[in-house]
Amino acid sequence: MARIPEETIERIRNTADIYDVVAQYVDLIKKGRNYFGLCPFHSEKTPSFSVAPDKQIYHCFGCGAGGNVFSFIVEHEKVTFVEAVQQLGEKYGIQVQYESGSASTEFFSSLYQAHHVAAELYHNTLYFDRGKAALQYLHDRGLNDDVLKMYQIGFAPDSWDTLSNKVKPLDMKNDVYDKSGLFVKTKHGWRDRFRSRIMFPIYHPSGKVIAFGGRIFNSDDPAKYLNSPETPLYRKSEVFYGLHKTRDAIRKFGTAVLVEGYTDFLQLVQVGVANVVALSGTALADQHAAQIRKFASKVYLAYDGDDAGINATLRAGYVLLQAGVEPLVIAVPPNQDPDDWVRNEGIGPFQEAMGAGIRLLLFHLEKKDAQNLSGADRSQLVQDILGEIARISDGIIRDDLLKSLAQELRVDEVEIIRLFKQQSRRKGGSTPSSKQTAMNKPMFTSAVQKAQLEIIRTLAFHFDEVFPVVKSALDFELFDEPILKKLGGLLIKEKTGVELSAVIDEFDDRQERELVSEILFDEVSPDDPVLIIQECLATIKGKLIKDQIKAARLKMRELESLGHDTEAIILEVAELQKQLQELTMPLDRK
């Protein structure tokens, strides 16, 4: 794998200024030592996002987002850490070179370059003679040149080697041809995958082309749409079409309009729906829902009005609910799609339907004609709905849905709850999965947890004052909170203190980084930081000794019941009690 030298990362981290970086995206106002503004990661009216220049970190007290300059670019621009380092290196004039694994760097660079060349080739072809008929078709569908050029719509002619010949001068290696998804291997060599198709480039949120969707044009190919296969650049279950352009509008409104097709998206963008986004050749997945939740708390589903579209709406709606996003359904007319509807009737009816967005449960009951179903069919529908509700971890949302289900079906709520509990038991309970639970940040509520946290914070902000005095007494192996144990080890790793912003980069998991930034953000100013650490260590060690005393006494009772000698256990307990008393003695501060 490609690796950026640590010296380069450190140099960029020390050169880049967190205020300078964040201020490009957020209006910041100084209050005391820190700066505050509206959070760029969730919708809010009262600023809860703060930047601490002296620590070179940021933290949102609303949504919990936090980190350093690198993590800000990663989360805001939706790029990799390496890309964030490169971006900041360019901003501050620091050249980023790789130590080893350059082949990996060349591989990904070649993949991006191949897609860039393909996008330009297809788009230029659309506006030349070979694409004249396809361009006319798009115009006839009501799409103007502005939107076609903005999203670089193109045309792949009915040829086996249009793109193959174009990329030959790039001297790409076989693994690039193989993994790009743009070519197929034949006995005559590499040939174009896309032929006689209108091409819709699919972009990474950073703005780079990573895949294509191709709509058949003047061909008898039975596949109406052909999308790029999964590649090292493209994961269908994680990518939205058009998000690179509409992300800011979605974040601004806190809502998104989700459609299924590329032309649905383009038509809505063209008529002024700025917060629209589309899927790219796949059903809505959990990863999609997790991604859209970063920008919007509510999603309007505008799928096709046929039976397939209705079923897809229901599937997507429950995926969103289970991710904590509120789904509302836009009632698209039967057997139409948003593209046709808006093109034929204008934006007015669409906006009215959006204003009257239907709650998912009501839409489900209506489309399945719940009131007129037979007893058995109605019972099965209820079981299906309860199965979806059981996967929702938010208890408030679950209770609201159960109550609404009982009201709409005119069924005793007690009976619905009984059926729900049966359903939950069959599915192993309705509580969050162990994976979800593990993702929830620690609350640090017990006395021992709070003591561990105080030691970390006191070390972080008073290192020079306390470490020389307490270093012999510190033992992070006593910590039972993994993230605090790791954080403590990092803080004393250099024996002379570390940059707090650098510590954050040692945590790969996003939620761990956010928690660390929260821990390190608010500075503690005790009158006597050494005494604070002494008292916290006493709390931690005291709890361990008390547990040992408890275990020894249990063992002593067991020996007594068997008629065995307990003198050794008595002496052990006495020694432990002595150690417990000694914990209150002050540390040697010489």
Q: What pLDDT digit, counting tens, does each position of 71-88 carry?
A: 999 989 888 888 899 889
Determine contact, residues 362/400, Cβ cutoff 8 Å: no
Angstrom CA distances, 466 to 310, 490, 530, stand at 64, 16, 5
Specify the DSSP class assigned to residue 195. Answer: -
Residue 202: which pLDDT band, with cuts at 50, 70 and 90? very high
pLDDT of the residue at 326 = 94
pLDDT of the residue at 20 = 87
CA distance linking residue 417 with residue 350, whole number of Å: 37
Q: What pLDDT digit, counting tens, does each position of 321-366 carry?
A: 998 899 999 999 999 999 999 999 999 999 999 999 999 999 999 9
Average pLDDT over residues 184-209: 91
pLDDT of the residue at 497 = 67
CA distance linking residue 533 with residue 488, whole number of Å: 13
Over the range 562-575, which residues count as b (16 or more CB within 10 Å of their CB) and which as e? Answer: eeeebeebeebbee
Q: What mean pLDDT, rounded, does the chain reach? A: 86
Query: The pTM is what?
Result: 0.62
pLDDT of the residue at 439 = 39
CA distance linking residue 30 with residue 51, whole number of Å: 9
Q: Are strands 240-241 and 209-216 parallel, antiparallel or unpaired?
A: unpaired
Give the rounded distance of the alpha carbon of 198 from its chain centre: 31
Q: Please say if the pLDDT value at position 546 is more than 50.
A: yes
Range in 215-219, 294-298, 356-360 the model is least confident about: 294-298
Give every CB contact of residue 212 below 8 A, 6+ residues apart in sequence.
115, 118, 119, 122, 182, 194, 199, 200, 201, 202, 227, 228
In the chain, what is the straight-line distance between the N-terminal and C-terminal CA atoms, in Å? 49
Determine contact, residues 214/227, Cβ cutoff 8 Å: yes
**Environment class of residue 39 by beta-carbon count within 10 Å: exposed (0-12), middle (13-18) or buried (19+)?**
buried
Residue 436: which pLDDT band, with cuts at 50, 70 and 90? very low
Average pLDDT over residues 550-565: 83
Average pLDDT over residues 378-394: 88
Phi-psi region of 60 (alpha: psi -120 to 50; beta: other; left: phi over 0): beta
Give the rounded distance of the alpha carbon of 492 from its chain centre: 31
Determine contact, residues 278/305, Cβ cutoff 8 Å: no
* Token pair listed for 520: 């390190």
Q: Please say if the pLDDT value at position 268 is more than 50.
A: yes
Strand ranges, E, within 302-352: 326-329
Specify the DSSP class assigned to residue 390. Answer: T
pLDDT of the residue at 10 = 79
Helices (H), 157-305: 162-167, 174-180, 243-253, 262-270, 286-293
Give bridge partners of residue 209 from the DSSP assignment.
203
Average pLDDT over residues 387-393: 88
pLDDT of the residue at 495 = 66
Residue 440: which pLDDT band, with cuts at 50, 70 and 90? very low
- State the DSSP H helix or E strand holding residue 573, giving kind and residue range, or none if neither: helix 567-582
Quote the percentage of the chain above a pLDDT of 90. 41
Q: What pLDDT digit, counting tens, does each position of 101-144 carry?
A: 545 667 878 898 999 999 999 999 999 999 999 999 999 999 99
- The one-letter code for the residue type at 225 is Y
Q: Please say if the pLDDT value at position 493 is more than 60.
A: yes
Residue 438: which pLDDT band, with cuts at 50, 70 and 90? very low
CA distance linking residue 310 with residue 371, whole number of Å: 18
Give whichever of 256-270, 436-450, 572-586 has the largest mean pLDDT.
Answer: 256-270
Q: What is the signed CA dihedral for 264, 183, 111, 25, rounded to 10 degrees?
A: 0
CA distance linking residue 444 with residue 450, whole number of Å: 6
pLDDT of the residue at 568 = 86
Q: What pLDDT digit, counting tens, does each position of 513-535 carry?
A: 888 888 888 766 667 888 888 88
Q: Please say if the pLDDT value at position 453 is more than 50.
A: yes
* Token pair listed for 324: 């904590």
- State the DSSP H helix or E strand holding residue 423, giving kind and residue range, or none if neither: helix 413-426
* Token pair listed for 414: 């007690």
Average pLDDT over residues 284-313: 89
CA distance linking residue 387 with residue 430, whole number of Å: 9
Scan for tokens 């709905």, then name that residue: 385
pLDDT of the residue at 586 = 52
Helices (H), 41-180: 69-77, 81-91, 102-126, 132-140, 145-150, 162-167, 174-180
